[in-house]
Amino acid sequence: MPTEKIVTLETPTLSAGESIVLKPADLDDAEQYLKMVDDNYQQLTQWIRAPKPPTTVEDRRKAQAADIAHGANGKGYWWLIEFEGALAGTIALHSVDATERWALVGYWLDMNFTGKGIMTRSLKAVIDWSFADLGLNRVEIQASLNNRASASIPERLSIRRESIRRQSEVINGVSLDMASYAAFADNWPPKPPARALPTNELQVDNEILLRQHIGSDYQDMWKAFEAGRDYLGKYLPWMAAYKTEDDYERLHTARRLEGDNFDGSRAYIVQYKGELAGTVGLGIPNRDNVIEVDYWLRQDLQGRGIMTRSVEAVITMLFVEVGIHRVTIRAATSNLASRGIPERLGFKHEGTMRDGGFVNNEYLDLEIYSMLDHEWLASSTNA
Instruction: Please state the pTM of the whole predicted model.
Output: 0.58
Residue 9, in any domain of the structure:
no
Residue 214, in any domain of the structure:
yes
Element (H, E) at 37: helix 30-39
Say if residue 38 is in the same domain as residue 138: yes
User: What's the whole-number mean pLDDT along residues 10-33?
Assistant: 89
Q: Residue 168 maps to which CATH number? A: 3.40.630.30
Looking at per-residue confidence, does 33 or 113 come out higher? 113
Cα torsion 130, 134, 137, 142: sign: negative
At 265 the pLDDT is 63
- pLDDT of 263 over the 60 cut: no
Reported residue count of the chain is 383
Categorize the per-residue pLDDT at 223 as very low, low, confident or very high, splitting at 50, 70 and 90.
confident
Say if residue 287 is in the same domain as residue 250: yes
Say if residue 174 is in the same domain as residue 216: no
Q: Which of 187, 219, 241 is the C-terminal boundary of a domain?
A: 187
Task: Give me the half-sphere count of Cα atoms (radius 13 Å) on the Cβ side of residue 51.
Answer: 9
Are 21 and 82 contacting, i.e. CB atoms less than 8 angstroms apart? yes
- Domain residue limits at 133: 14-187
Say if residue 248 is in the same domain as residue 155: no
Are 9 and 134 contacting, i.e. CB atoms less than 8 angstroms apart? yes
- pLDDT of 317 over the 60 cut: yes
Q: Which of 163, 187, 211 is the C-terminal boundary of a domain?
A: 187
Looking at per-residue confidence, does 193 or 262 come out higher? 193
At 105 the pLDDT is 96
At 338 the pLDDT is 95
Say if residue 159 is in the same domain as residue 57: yes
Q: Which of 129, 162, 187 is the C-terminal boundary of a domain?
A: 187
Say if residue 166 is in the same domain as residue 206: no
State whether residue 109 is helix, strand or coil: strand
Cα torsion 68, 74, 76, 81: sign: positive
Looking at per-residue confidence, does 362 or 244 come out higher? 362
Say if residue 130 is in the same domain as residue 21: yes
Categorize the per-residue pLDDT at 72 as very low, low, confident or very high, splitting at 50, 70 and 90.
low
130-177 pLDDT per residue, tens: 999 999 999 999 998 888 888 889 988 988 888 888 888 888 888 888
Distance separating alpha carbons of residues 301 and 179, to the nearest angstrom: 36
Across the chain, mean pLDDT equals 86
Say if residue 181 is in the same domain as residue 210: no
